[in-house]
Structure 1
């Protein structure tokens, strides 16, 4: 059983990973990495900063303690569109820059922070220690790892999804954060007659965050598998929920102390009500914690707030199920036509 304690910033290394400027067609907000690094100095005085980025980046006026320069693995292909064009992603770039930085960490605690996000408080220090109870099933880490709920989806296409963990921010014991990123690079998907577009077709391709999460967690348990975005059943849902409750703390960016770049903030869909209500909410994660880890936990989640969230999902989330059903039927027809 973990005992709550105060974490000294000197025991933390922050790995800031990603490009410093626009890199390989990925637009980068001007000055955002400088803002990111300065925010770490402000809210974690004494913490070590490792900047893990790419060769030939302009590092002028950037404040860091150690530099890791990575070789660019390029984009990876995880699926094909129905018109035959490949879907390319930066998954391997994120794996390389994150893991290369984490491998240099020698402090007890570590943070993985995107180079285009920044800190707005040190609330994550309290959150990481605030929920120490564990159950024995699906217990993989030494302590909880704090993540933000941006893209930690509870629903996609209007339906429940599992293993959909955000890849933006991680804070916890170094060995636990390392475990979340210790994975081989993703090989390009090769289309075949049986799987011409993506694994699990006509289901949608597994989301990037699902891919990264299950590849990391398979080191602990082979049950971390998915055949498609909407691959779900009560047994898998139970396993996913218990894993989330037992190994993570999921909360909104502001509650964690993380600021998002303009691409994901302000008027971006993910930061509007329509996007937010599809994600796991902090109070919902606390419900999981109470259910699986600490029945004595006093959860303050009013009936009014629960009803409000349900009504918002009725307005913004659940109607997508109708359109999703139509699209899945069209995708199924695509198989019949090609046979």
Structure 2
């Protein structure tokens, strides 16, 4: 097992909380303090934006990045933004600055509660044919979506990640996503039949999590290109999952020692996510036994996508009926 001094911790994102705010609102301060407490001797890198108030924060290295800005999801409504390029800039610059053997990517509004994640580093050593990293990167089940339950491929969580520094640099040293064509792939009136978030009606080419993995694997000659974020090309369904199982371990928050901000608590009960138990079963099937049925898996995803469409259609119909009665 590595020592805590073997880690660089990249705390990335905006600074949450001013020096005069009450303690519960100083999320970035709590984040940095948790890294100090549970990883003594680690290199702490704060990668944020120029002009941020940091006088009250404890870190070893400060990166003040130029803000690339966000892209609005809709032409007619600029109240909600895709901030993936912000995430890429702050994370990429942070991991490229890391000097220790391992690097952790930690959002500036999250925090650690223990260092149990270290038990899983280098633990799983069997592989299939899609190994990109030297060792698997640990990530959270939170936001890691199972395409059997929601029609989205290779949606691996970017909230928390930890692995060999060389692997983290490979993962995050990627081009910025082209904008606005990534966030607004289609006009607002375009209908995506298997919309994953029907009440949001996104028109993305890639979700944030998808773009990161697509851009990383493209450097290794793996083709995960999609036309839109819920596209399910039959030949890429099993492929996309195999690349994830070969390169990540999906861990529960308590296994990682990770706490999310309160606004993300709803994600803990999301029925569309992988679980660690499921990851272990897939690891055994794909990498140990190597006896998976790719055709059946892809067929299952396609069928469940059809059921998902029907379920959302019924939900929309009931919603419209309630609105008419009101």
TM-score, normalised to structure 2's length?
0.79
Which residue in 1 is equivalent to 2:267?
270
- Number of residue pairs matched by the alignment: 288
Match of 1:261 in 2: 261
Counterparts of residues 1-339 of structure 1 (less than 5 Å): 6-21=1-16, 30-77=25-72, 80=74, 84-85=76-77, 88-135=81-128, 137-155=129-147, 159-190=150-181, 195-197=186-188, 201=192, 204=195, 205=204, 206-265=206-265, 269-271=266-268, 273=269, 275=270, 277-295=271-289, 320-325=308-313
Gaps of 5+ in 2: 19-23, 196-203, 291-303, 317-326
Distance 1:215-1:188 versus aligned 2 partners, 3 A rule: same
Cα distance in structure 2, aligned partners of 1:62 and 1:290: 43
Residue aligned with 1:68, SS = strand
Aligned Cα RMSD in Å?
A: 3.1
Whole-angstrom distance in 1 between the partners of 2:134 and 2:13: 27
C-alpha distance 22-225 of structure 1, shift in aligned 2 (>3 A) = farther
Shift of 1:326: 7.0
Find the counterpart in structure 2 of residue 303 from structure 1: none
* Cα distance in 1, alignment partners of residues 96 and 262 from structure 2: 30
C-alpha spacing 1:196/1:118, structure 2 compared with 1 (3 Å): same
Distance 1:319-1:134 versus aligned 2 partners, 3 A rule: closer
Shift of 1:325: 4.9
Secondary structure, counterpart of 1:178 in structure 2: helix
TM-superposed deviation, 1:217: 2.1
Kindly indicate whether the alpha-carbon contact (under 8 Å) linking 1:134 and 1:294 is maintained by their aligned counterparts in 2.
yes
Distance 1:13 1:220 in 2: 25
Contact kept, 8 Å, 1:76 with 1:187, in 2: the verdict is no
SS in 2 for 1:103: helix
Counterparts in 2 of 1:200 and 1:145: CA distance versus 1, 3 Å = farther
